[in-house]
A and B are shown apart, each in its own frame.
Chain A
Amino acid sequence: MVFNRLIFSEFHLCQRIFSRGLKLKPAWDITTGICVERLPVVTPPLNDIQKKYKELLYTIEIENSLKSDHEIRKDNDIIQAKQLKESIDVDYDTVSKITAQDFEDSSAEELGKFQFADIITEADKKGIKNTVDRCLQKHLVLVTSLKFGSDMKQVLPQGLWKEGETLRQTAERVLAQHCGPDLKVQFLSNAPCGFHKYKYPAEIDGKIGAKVFFYYANYRSGKVSEQVKHTWLTRSELEDALPIRYNKSVQQFLIEENI
């Protein structure tokens, strides 16, 4: 088994070296595409089965638990109220002035006063897509429009590799040039995470097409510069916006979302 695998990998390597040896100058442009992803800010909503199971766990936990201090206090309050009603002589000093119910009410009031931030943001309501402040429960991918020949296309930020730099450096440079220095991201690897290639309609400088190596980065802070036409899209929106074959290549390395 081990031997077999060894032979296989060796064979594979030989094949690769052989095919490289045969090829002449690469007739493809090397480009990098950068997939900047904003991770979800807020946890996604629970689905039906998750909700049901959570409820079950809560009830079982309460059934198995002991009473808390607060519940004991509540029980004592009830007993004392009963004693007061039956006017058994009670030591008034020991009767607590603030009952457990009062405490609960005041806590509820305080909670009611507190305004949580809305999960549906302003941008969601207005349908603005060029901000990270939208769809807080989902992954968002930065998409920009780039000029290919004569027509504009919606793709990930992309740029040509220059002689003398590593692909990672190309990715960093292209992103800074394209989206402005304000956008801070964190690249997660020196290695590309995906691949795509397409042919030019006609040869340009002897190149028949471009090979795109995708780099994955997480959004950290900052904004894409205003001059660049860009959108932050969810998975389903990506499907509509990107060219079909391109989208297929991109979805290959993205985490799937089922909400």
Chain B
Amino acid sequence: MFQLSLLRQFARLSIYSASIVNARTICTTSVVQFKMTEPLCAEPMKKKKKMDPAIIRAREERRRKKLEKQIRRLQKNERQLKPIDEIEVPLNLLDEIGKRKRPTVSHSAEVLEARALLQKEWTRYKRNEYINNVAQVDRIMAAQRRALEKLYEESEELYDEAVMPDLSLIPFTINGPVATPPIKNYESPDGDYIDVSKKWEN
């Protein structure tokens, strides 16, 4: 009785109202809201069916055989990987390699010198090109930064809108440039489409 009245006093403090508290709980300290599931009582044992031991053995045997078969199959295919045609050198090429070799050419010192010079000149050319490209990107970026700064001076709202990413650009695709211009109204000749990709089955 005393406890109940005390509980009622603290009822507002606890998360659950005291009425939920299991009637079985008896405690002398404040209520902790741990709950236990009801214990399951035992039920009578089922009567075991009597089976022919021979049938059980046969069943076991069958199961083991099935498993063994699977293991064997897995072991057989263990190191067999799907071949990649592009990487494997065709056998007929390996056979004919002697026939396919070109006569080795020995260049005169002048030709070698000219080649080395051209290589050096090319390297210098590419370096200049690279420096130009970087400078160009810098210049274009600086132009944009200046434009944005000027925009900020004009209006902060417009600036905020302008620096938003444009999501419609993703994914971005672009074609060309190509080696020869497209022919207008060109109808490409019909052909057969033959799918030569191999089918691999397990």
Interface residues of A (CB under 8 A from B): 16, 19-20, 23, 26, 28, 30, 39-44, 49, 52-53, 56, 62-63, 65-67, 72, 115-119, 121, 136-137, 161, 166-168, 187-195, 197, 211, 213-214, 218, 252-256
B162 touches A252 (CB 8 A): no
User: When chains A and B are docked, how far (Å) is the Cα of A256 from the Cα of B129?
Assistant: 12
User: When chains A and B are docked, how far (Å) is the Cα of A101 from the Cα of B38?
Assistant: 95
A211 touches B102 (CB 8 A): no
Contacts A43-B179, A53-B122, A136-B181 given: A211-B161 contact, CB under 8 Å?
Answer: no
Q: How many A-B residue pairs have CB under 8 A?
A: 137
B-chain residues with CB within 8 Å of residue A63 when the two chains form the complex: 102, 105
Within the complex, which residue of A72, A119, A167 is in contact with B162, where a contact is CB–CB below 8 Å?
A167
A192 touches B118 (CB 8 A): no
Within the complex, which residue of B150, B161, B176, B180 is in contact with A195, where a contact is CB–CB below 8 Å?
B150
Dominant SS among interface residues on chain B: helix
For the complex formed, measure the closest distance between the CB of A135 and the CB atoms of chain B, giving whole angstroms: 11
Interface residues of B (CB under 8 A from A): 93, 96-97, 99-102, 105, 115, 118-119, 121-122, 125, 132, 136, 139-140, 142-144, 146-156, 158, 161-166, 169, 174, 176-184
B154 touches A211 (CB 8 A): yes
Give 7 closest A-B pairs by Cβ, nearest first. Answer: A195-B147, A166-B161, A66-B100, A253-B143, A252-B143, A192-B147, A67-B100
A166 touches B162 (CB 8 A): yes
For the complex formed, measure the closest distance between the CB of B58 and the CB atoms of chain A, giving whole angstroms: 62
For the complex formed, measure the closest distance between the CB of B95 and the CB atoms of chain A, giving whole angstroms: 12
For the complex formed, measure the closest distance between the CB of B153 and the CB atoms of chain A, giving whole angstroms: 6
B177 touches A72 (CB 8 A): no
User: When chains A and B are docked, how far (Å) is the Cα of A136 from the Cα of B163?
Assistant: 33
A118 touches B97 (CB 8 A): no
User: When chains A and B are docked, how far (Å) is the Cα of A188 from the Cα of B162?
Assistant: 12
A-chain residues with CB within 8 Å of residue B144 when the two chains form the complex: 191-194, 253
User: When chains A and B are docked, how far (Å) is the Cα of A256 from the Cα of B133?
Assistant: 9
For the complex formed, measure the closest distance between the CB of B168 and the CB atoms of chain A, giving whole angstroms: 9
For the complex formed, measure the closest distance between the CB of A171 and the CB atoms of chain B, giving whole angstroms: 11
Contacts A41-B178, A192-B144, A195-B143 given: A56-B115 contact, CB under 8 Å?
Answer: yes
For the complex formed, measure the closest distance between the CB of A201 and the CB atoms of chain B, giving whole angstroms: 22
Contacts A42-B179, A53-B118, A193-B140 given: A67-B151 contact, CB under 8 Å?
Answer: no
B-chain residues with CB within 8 Å of residue A16 when the two chains form the complex: 149, 152-153
B-chain residues with CB within 8 Å of residue A44 when the two chains form the complex: 177
Residue pairs across A and B with Cβ atoms less than 8 A apart, 11 shown, are: A41-B181, A43-B177, A62-B102, A63-B102, A116-B180, A117-B180, A119-B181, A194-B143, A195-B147, A211-B154, A252-B143
A66 touches B97 (CB 8 A): yes
Chain B residue nearest to A68 in the complex (CB):
B100
Q: With contacts A56-B118, A66-B101, A256-B136 known, what are 5 further pairs, Cβ within 8 A? A: A28-B154, A56-B115, A66-B97, A167-B158, A254-B140
Most chain A CB within a 10 A radius of its CB, from B119, B162, B164? B162
Chain B residue nearest to A253 in the complex (CB):
B143
Chain A residue nearest to B140 in the complex (CB):
A253
B-chain residues with CB within 8 Å of residue A255 when the two chains form the complex: 136, 140
B166 touches A190 (CB 8 A): yes
Most chain B CB within a 10 A radius of its CB, from A72, A119, A193? A193
For the complex formed, measure the closest distance between the CB of B173 and the CB atoms of chain A, giving whole angstroms: 10
For the complex formed, measure the closest distance between the CB of B99 and the CB atoms of chain A, giving whole angstroms: 7
Contacts A193-B140, A194-B144, A253-B143 given: A211-B181 contact, CB under 8 Å?
Answer: no
